Amino acid sequence: MRGKNNLAAFFSPSSIALVGASVSPGKISGVILESLMNSFSGALYPVNPRYGEVMGLKCYPSIEAIGSPIDLAVYALGAEAIPGAVLEAGRNVKGAIVVSGGFAETGPKGAEIEKALKEAARAAGVRVIGPNCMGIYDTVSGLDTFFIPKERVRRPESGGLSIISQSGSFAVTAMDELATDGIGVARVVSYGNKSDVDEADCLDFLADDPETKAIAIYIESIQDGRRFVEAASRCSARKPVMAVKVGKGASGISAARSHTGAIAGRYEIYKAAFRKAGIIELDGYEDFLVACKALGLTTGGAGKRIMIITDGGGMGVNIADACEEMGLSVPALPEEVSDELRSLFPEYFTIGNPLDLTGSATDESFALALSKTMSGDFYDMVIVAALWGPPALTDNLPGMLAQKPGFTEKPIIACTPGGAYSRERIRLFHEAGLPAFSTPEAAVRAAAVLSKAGVRR
Amino acid sequence: MRGKNNLAAFFSPSSIALVGASVSPGKISGVILESLMNSFSGALYPVNPRYGEVMGLKCYPSIEAIGSPIDLAVYALGAEAIPGAVLEAGRNVKGAIVVSGGFAETGPKGAEIEKALKEAARAAGVRVIGPNCMGIYDTVSGLDTFFIPKERVRRPESGGLSIISQSGSFAVTAMDELATDGIGVARVVSYGNKSDVDEADCLDFLADDPETKAIAIYIESIQDGRRFVEAASRCSARKPVMAVKVGKGASGISAARSHTGAIAGRYEIYKAAFRKAGIIELDGYEDFLVACKALGLTTGGAGKRIMIITDGGGMGVNIADACEEMGLSVPALPEEVSDELRSLFPEYFTIGNPLDLTGSATDESFALALSKTMSGDFYDMVIVAALWGPPALTDNLPGMLAQKPGFTEKPIIACTPGGAYSRERIRLFHEAGLPAFSTPEAAVRAAAVLSKAGVRR
């Protein structure tokens, strides 16, 4: 049943049945139905023997009663009812997403139900995502089984990043952060207990998916290490693949076991597997988000040489420190560049790397500094740390930087620490296509990820 | 001239002269005058021979012309004019804040002017803060010489945290972040080139200051290490003192030299001095902010044993990992506690540490979990990681947690990652007096700082 091409039912379904559809919009199935009615343009069939109609759609007593085969069935029933429902649907369904909990993650009784689900799926010849998961949020197909209302968790717009995650809450939270920050995604898959479809299956699909430009993976445990490394290697040869593995220390491992019934295993083994598979290793939640923002908006740089341009001397020093701590270099300005800058700028600007434009900075001085330092082959990436105190700085700055005066490829990372005024400016950078971060450390972490993503190519 | 009691003119002035007052509200002196007119209730004298009146206040041609001694003079003039002005004011002034740049940080010519400023100050018997600094923002005295308009940089309300910083931009940015997040401050001092008043002088004052409950220091370089260690030791015996030293690696050190003309020195020396002085060492900007938020809202915990309560399993695992990485422990639940919790909670809750209340979490289940795990002597601190997906969670949660059901002293740290909805909830936690963070890593960093601050007592 394994193979790289049989996940199409999940990622480009033309028909969806929602099993356990409910007339109550607050329930899990109600949230899913509402989302699908808004975003999915294919055929949509609520299934529940108790209702003739749900939210204005005709409701069917069973999948069989729909009368034609269905690409995807989404199950929102109590755990115990699911194996039977999957068996009953039989070959009328290609793919099943089981969002319900109450399986192996709850103990021996749930593990028995999960075993029955696997057997039912095998008998019916259906692939399964879940159980105990959020399912799929997909801006390409319009599928959205994430059962949390949009008021609480925003949905990202269309973009080139795909996220696959064992933890539903991790996927949900990352999606919400990216949506709030204006970063788009292609596909987000939460597979929970992964009774069938796992990260390797998803990687097989995403490797060939033209909509997916970069992939971020959240891992608690991997069962089949060899298959994972094969799939990830194939994928990372085509696009950047990044992964965070949680459950590293003793407490984390024990917590991960409780969470999805998984044995987390020694972290060193994962590190080695990541290296072998060409996966960029991420440290934890913060690093995961930074990486998603960076590769959701830009592509990798070709090396580790960082130029720092700022209007706040202290912030520049902090960024230089963080670069060295994270294995990046901050080479001094070449003499010809510093001579030219000295002739162009007032004498109280600090000409060096970091380059400090002081409180007299203007949009134009930032753009000029960018052009003069980045047009030669001296640096691979630039971190522009703009504090918004200087009165001459305007909201045109992000757009002026994004023109990349004098160069084309090298990534620009913005850093704009501060309160309300600065935080609102982050979105302006994102709209201009430049990843922007609230702290020096996050900006440097982004540079480190981009440098790894670029070197990989 | 040194001594712990002669900074009173800076921290409780009854009269202030603004030298270089301008009729143009956009200029540095205009911003300062506007701030002072709003926040300072003592006598306020604009000084500028070119005007008879500035912003409705009588303007004096010189400090001497005011006709009575002044506690504090704020100089917003071109660098070259300042030594003469200080000398002219002579003994009519007790303290001087020189916000202007153009001194040692700009090169040999500026260094000459700074030397002249020092000589003038010595001759006049006046203490100087600056030059090349933002001066003082003080919620106790109402002094505010930070010359960036409030639209761009917010001012924190009254609180117990004091910040002293060599870098003006660092102080400004931290203030803005704290104000936006609803964390108050007592005094913020930016002393820039510290031609006279330095961190040791400020520490001497703050040690005896009843308004200051905790102190955070930003350091690029320290000249008199022995005096610093003495002052910091005396201070840290009374209240938590935290410090970040930037300019650690080669690039950072060279950047710091350009920034304030300071020789940053080897980081190991600072580490040893911090240890000797009982200072809590902070890593960089992120760590500095986290520490300010934590000790701005709560006091230290007595140890390193962390309880984790969450409604998102993946987040719990991530927090457990981060605790171990940062030297904290995540002890398992004592058997009697887990037995009791098992009898109280549904079987699909994961009873352990982390304790996972799942998507079925309610305000009440969080409060009950808090009470049962924290009322005995099993843990020193608790991290409550609330994801806002669960529909039953309400805005009452922070207030219910803040009642600390069944215990009194131990700190509660909230972690609430996510997008717009979650970010807005951070303020609710702060209003309830609980420090709250957007990422697991930041919450754990806060726990690490609080554990050091508590053990210190």
Which is it for strands B127-129 and B93-98: parallel, antiparallel or unpaired? parallel
How many other C-beta atoms can be found within 10 angstroms of the C-beta atom of residue B394? 12
Q: What domains can you pick out in chain B, each with its CATH number?
A: 1-152 (3.40.50.720), 156-297 (3.40.50.261), 306-456 (3.40.50.261)
Select the residue of A106, A176, A325 nearest B418 (Cβ to Cβ).
A176
Which residue from B minimizes the CA distance to A180?
B419
In the prediction, which pLDDT does A255 show?
Answer: 64
Token digits for A278?
Answer: 């060409």
Which chain B residue has its CA at the smallest distance from A155's CA? B419
B356 contacts A258 by C-beta, under 8 angstroms: yes
Which residues of chain B, if any, have pLDDT below 50? Answer: 1-5, 457
Q: Say if the Cβ atoms of B255 and A354 lie within 8 Å.
A: yes
Contacts of A314 in chain B (CB under 8 A): 165-170, 218, 220, 246, 259
pLDDT at position A362 is: 97
Instruction: Enumerate the H helices of B194-249 as residue ranges.
Output: 199-207, 225-236
Helix, coil or strand: residue A185: strand
Please tell me what DSSP assigns to residue A81.
G
Give pLDDT tens digits along chain A (457 positions): 344 447 999 999 999 999 999 888 778 899 999 999 999 999 999 999 999 999 999 999 999 999 999 999 999 999 999 999 999 999 999 999 999 988 998 889 999 999 999 999 999 999 999 999 999 999 999 999 999 999 999 999 999 999 999 999 899 999 999 999 999 999 999 999 999 999 999 999 999 999 999 999 999 999 999 999 999 999 999 999 999 999 887 666 666 666 555 555 688 899 999 999 999 999 999 999 999 999 999 988 889 999 999 999 889 999 999 999 999 999 999 999 999 999 999 988 999 999 999 989 999 999 999 999 999 999 999 999 999 999 899 999 999 999 998 888 899 999 999 999 999 999 999 999 999 999 999 999 999 999 999 875 4
CA distance A16 to A95: 10
Helix (H, G, I), strand (E, B) or coil at A176: helix
Distance CA B165, CA B221 (A): 11
pLDDT of res. A82: 97
CA B45/CA B71 separation, integer angstroms: 11
**Residue carrying structure tokens 């991960």:** A256
Q: Which of B99, B169, B221, B439 has the most A C-beta neighbours within 10 Å, making it the best mutation to test the interface with A?
A: B169
The reported pLDDT for the residue numbered A254 is 66
Q: Which residues of A touch B180 (CB under 8 A)?
A: 418-420, 423
Query: CA-CA distance, A440 to A315, in Å (whole number)?
Result: 7
Tell me, what's the ipTM? 0.91
Can you give the pLDDT at residue A140? Answer: 97
Put simply, the answer to whether A102 touches B348 (Cβ < 8 Å) is: yes
B55/B46 Cα distance (integer angstroms):
9
Per-residue pLDDT, B2: 44
**Does the distance separating the beta carbons of A254 and B352 come in below 8 Å?**
yes
CB contact under 8 A, A153 and B318: no
Chain A closest CA to B263's CA: distance in Å?
Answer: 13
Residue B153's contacts (CB-CB under 8 Å, 6 or more residues apart) are A388, A389, A418, A419, A421, B146, B172, B173, B175, B176
The residues, any chain, with a CB within 8 Å of residue A289's CB and separated by 6 or more, are A174, A177, A178, B439
DSSP string, B18-48: EET--S-TTSHHHHHHHHHHHH--SEEEEE-
- Other C-beta atoms closer than 10 Å to the C-beta of A404 total 19
Minimal Cα distance from A328: which residue of B? B251
Confirm if A137 and A185 have CB atoms less than 8 A apart.
yes
Closest C-alpha among B155, B166, B144 to residue A421: B155
Q: Which residues in chain B have Cβ-Cβ distances shorter than 8 Å to A421?
A: 151-154, 176
Alpha helices in B326-419 (DSSP H): 335-344, 363-374, 397-402
- pLDDT at residue B259 in the model: 59
Contact assignment for A314 to B168 by CB distance below 8 Å = yes
Which residues of chain B make contact with A220, given a CB cutoff of 8 A?
Answer: 314, 317
Residues of A in contact with B252 (CB under 8 A): 317-318, 320-321, 324
SS (H, E, C) B405-420: CCCCCCCEEEECCCCH
Q: Give the closest-approach CA distance of B32 to chain A in angstroms.
A: 14
Tell me the C-alpha distance between B79 and A418, whole Å: 28
Q: What is the pLDDT of residue B23?
A: 82
What pLDDT does residue B1 have?
38
For residue A248, list chain B residues with Cβ-Cβ distance below 8 A: 321, 324-325
Q: Which residue of B has its CA nearest to A176?
A: B419
Cα–Cα distance list, B390 to A127, A147, A148, A205, B11 (Å): 28, 10, 8, 31, 48
List of chain A residues whose C-beta atoms are within 8 Å of the C-beta of residue B439: 285-286, 289
Asked whether the beta carbons of A68 and A101 are under 8 A apart, the reply is no
Chain B residue whose CA is closest to A322: B284
Q: How far apart, in whole angstroms, are the C-alpha atoms of residue B327 and residue B320?
A: 11
Contact assessment for residue A189 and residue B335, using Cβ atoms and an 8 Å cutoff: no
Residue with tokens 């040791």: B200
